[in-house]
Amino acid sequence: MRAGLLRYAGAAVLALLACQALAGTVKVSHGVSVFGDLKYGADFGHFDYVNPDAPKGGTLKLWGLDTFETLNPFILKGRKEAWNALVFDTLMARAFDEPDALYGLVAEAVELPDAGGWVAFRLRPEARFHDGTPITADDVAFTYRTLVAKGHPQFRILFRDVVGVKAVDRHKVRFDFKPGRHRDLPVQLAALPVLSKAYFATVAFDKTTFTPPLSSGPYRVAKAEPGRSVTYERVADYWARDLPVNRGRYNFDRIKIDYYRDRDIAFEAIFAGQYDFREEFTSRSWATQYDKPPVRKGLMVRETLPDETPSGVQAFFFNLRRDKFKDRRVRRALDLAFDFEWTNKNLFFGLYERTNSMFENSPLAAHAPPSEAELALLEPLRGKVPEGVFVKPYKASVTDGSGKIRRELRKAARLLREAGFRVKDGKLLDSSGKPLTIEFLLFEASFNRIVSPYIANLKRLGIEATIRIVDSANFKYRTDNYDFDVIVRRYVQPLTPGLEQRNFFGSAGAGTPGSFNVGGIEDQAVDVLIEKVIGATSREDLTTAVRALDRVLMWNNYTVPQWFKGVHHIAYWNKFDRPATKPRFARGVVDTWWYNPEKAAMIAAGKAPPKP
């Protein structure tokens, strides 16, 4: 009865707000997206990619690599627990069959003035933290101020154009923006997690902790063994369990994550039944190491699912803060020495493609000559960007896969000579006689097989290259403080790039410890194009701006790009069911699959369940 009254009251509030909107210049909506497009209407019952009648129950066991040092995912310090987001509700919830749309969760409605300048969220009166206390506008305002003042540096960069936040009343919070148009801010703020002001009045926010903070999401931490495992339990009386954004989701009673120090041991553990599901990122393993009894007997399933999200970029990132990497000719020479085709053929069983864009596997990648619209953005930057930007798409050198790359090494040697280097006694020296040395910083040994052949090619150029493997804590500290020559990093790009590009590539983050701009790119042309991306008013304009940015980033050789694949390779014990439709832009395992006890019983008896 009470739930029905609350739903009726919520509908009445939305109707009242809609009437007010007609009289003024404020749009009131049940959802928000970057360009205003919404697939689901105000009366939608559930997302199309869920089973609204999915049964609840069972346990999903997952794995993590190495360890974790905190259950607070919002600060710079400490390695984070990977699935901690399960316990924190956000103002609005993402739809994974749309590029960037969010719908009401803690907030039942969003207000957006036609002229821009601010956004307001109307909270649901029934929204509750796990201790039963209500979620109020004061909590949202506190969350924003705390994340910006004490949270990870990404929050300060992401929300730098927000000038203030105000709790208008108990259930309405408003964010005001700097003058100008801020396309992405409403969407970024809609994804804001909500923290309890009262809880953090007595608990330090900016400390690592194994004590779960008070939260409001579909799960809570039931048990945490520091650095070893975390078990989440579904909150039976979760306040938002019947909302349209949650119906048919979060079906497992428990989700347990065990951490493994060794990747090979973790791989073998799934076949022993120690955990249930893994996505395979190691091509050698996927091609050769799954011929195991559980797979042969049909107890485990291997599948390849489409991945329609941008792959982004995985690359060797140079620390551009160091003088030896400041000359683009040096960076280009280092790129020429990496033989992807040999690596793909001999180490990856031909399962990957070479990365030639920061936005691979998407229409945003600049894989064609620049359009007139792109040239209009690029022309004012002539003289500040490489000339190739204006002519053709960037494409890494292609070898025959034999390992004989004399042509590429000759080009690399010529570029190094042009940059003022010379070879003496087999060593490459700069103009002051100092040898060029490069240290690859890793935190696990599995990448040795990829880096070692690359080092062999670099040594043929006279470059002293070495590998240093450190533990993950040391690796995080050194990367956060930019104490490295070259590291491997992967950036996953969103479907609608925007404010996060400042974090990835903007000059403002180059000197900020812990910034996602790990390479230290400081380029005025890049900054200009990032603002063009952020300011795009249509998806067509966005694509134009992103491709222009992509060209400048790639032609500057800020990284040595590695590889990508446009699919998910997954393996799992066949004791789960799932909806008929996969979310277009996600795997959907944790939040849309469910446990099947009959299948689990068949597996226990050594019988193969029917395939999904």
Instruction: Provide the CATH number for the domain around residue 234.
Output: 3.40.190.10
User: Stretch 38-57: mean pLDDT, rounded?
Assistant: 98
Give the chain's mean pLDDT.
94
* Residue 418 within any structural domain of the chain: yes
What is the average per-residue pLDDT within 94-108? 97
What is the sign of the dihedral through the CA atoms of 164, 182, 320 and 495? positive
| Residue 61, in any domain of the structure | no
Strands (E), 196-260: 219-225, 229-234, 254-260
Closest CA to 303 of 589, 599, 602, 604: 589
Instruction: Answer yes or no: is 59 within a domain.
Output: no
| pLDDT, position 537 | 93
- Decide if 3 is inside a domain: no
Query: Which position has the higher pLDDT, 325 or 84?
Result: 325
Where does the pLDDT of residue 168 fall: very low under 50, low under 70, confident under 90, or very high at 90 and above? very high
pLDDT at 457 over 80: yes
Pick the more confident residue, 181 or 101: 101
Q: In sequence order, what are the residues at sequence separation of 6 or more whose Cβ sits closer than 8 angstroms to the Cβ of residue 538? A: 35
CA distance 75 to 67: 17
Condensed to tens digits (0 to 9), the pLDDT of residues 481-537 reads: 999 999 999 988 999 999 999 999 999 999 988 889 999 999 999 999 999 999 999
Q: What is the pLDDT of residue 7?
A: 43
**The pLDDT of residue 84:** 78
Query: Residue 123 contacts by C-beta under 8 Å, 6 or more apart in sequence?
Result: 91, 106, 107, 108, 135, 136, 137, 140, 171, 172, 173
- The dihedrals phi and psi of 385, each to the nearest 5 degrees, come to -130, 160
339 and 484 housed in the same domain: yes
Q: For residue 26, how far is the Cα from the chain centroid?
A: 32
Cα three-residue angle 570-574-575, rounded to 5 degrees? 125
- Same domain as 269, residue 192: no
Residues 93 and 122 in one domain: yes
Q: Contact, 222 vs 233, CB < 8 A?
A: yes
- For the cut 50, the answer to whether the pLDDT of residue 582 exceeds it is yes
Is the pLDDT at 3 greater than 90, yes or no?
A: no
Same domain, 428 and 549: yes
Instruction: Tell me, yes or no, whether 399 lies in a domain.
Output: yes
Q: Are residues 545 and 397 in the same domain?
A: yes
Over 60: is that where the pLDDT of 5 sits? no
Binning pLDDT at 50, 70 and 90, where does residue 181 land? confident
Is residue 12 domain-resident?
no
Residues 149 and 244 in one domain: no
Among 201, 232, 261, which residue terminates a domain?
Answer: 201
Half-sphere exposure in the Cβ direction for 502 (13 Å, CA): 19
pLDDT digits (tens, 9 = 90+) for 375-433: 999 999 999 999 999 999 999 999 999 999 999 999 999 999 999 999 999 999 999 99
Say whether both 570 and 560 belong to one domain: no
What is the mean pLDDT of the segment spanning 238-258?
Answer: 98
Listed residues 142, 172, 201: the one ending a domain: 201
Order the strands of the 219-225 sheet from edge to edge. 59-65, 254-260, 229-234, 219-225
Question: Average of pLDDT values for 193-210?
Answer: 96
Can you spell out the DSSP letters for 87-146? G--BSEEE-TTSSS-EEESSEEEEEEETT-SEEEEEEPTT-B-TTSPBP-HHHHHHHHHH
pLDDT for the residue numbered 334: 98
In the chain, pLDDT over 90 holds for what percent of residues?
89
Q: What are phi and psi of 178, to 5 degrees?
A: -65, 160
> Is the residue at 227 inside a domain?
yes
Which domain range does residue 334 map to?
313-564
In this predicted model, what pLDDT tens digit does every residue of 211-244 receive, in sequence order? 999 999 999 999 999 989 999 999 999 999 999 9
Comparing 227 with 601, which gets the higher pLDDT? 601
How far is it, in rounded angstroms, from Cα 83 to Cα 230?
Answer: 9
Say what the pLDDT of residue 85 is.
Answer: 82
Model pLDDT for residues 571-580, shown as the tens digit of each residue: 999 999 999 9
Among residues 152, 170, 201, which one ends one of the domains? 201
Distance of CA 173 to the CA centre of its chain: 27
Residues 353-361 have a mean pLDDT of: 96
Alpha carbon distance 522, 517 (integer Å):
9
322 is written with which tokens? 């160091």
- Cα separation, 169 vs 203, in Å, equals 25
Q: Tell me whether residue 207 is in a domain.
A: no
Q: What is the pLDDT of residue 24?
A: 52
Burial of 203 (0-12, 13-18, 19+ CB in 10 A): middle
One domain for residues 365 and 404: yes
CA geometry: angle at 504 spanning 498 and 509, to 5°? Answer: 110
* 558 and 590 belong to one structural domain: no
**102-104 sheet: strands from edge to edge:** 31-32, 102-104, 92-94
* pLDDT tops 60 at residue 600: yes
Task: Tell me the mean pLDDT in the region 189-211.
Answer: 97
Residues 102 and 130 reside in one and the same domain: yes
559 lies in the same domain as 571: no
Greater confidence (37 vs 446) lies with 37
What is the percent of the chain where pLDDT is above 70?
96
What's the total number of domains in the chain?
A: 3
Residue 383 gets the label, from left (phi > 0), alpha (psi -120 to 50) or beta, of left
CATH number of domain containing 442: 3.10.105.10
Which pTM value belongs to this model?
Answer: 0.87
Is the domain of 413 the same as that of 500?
Answer: yes
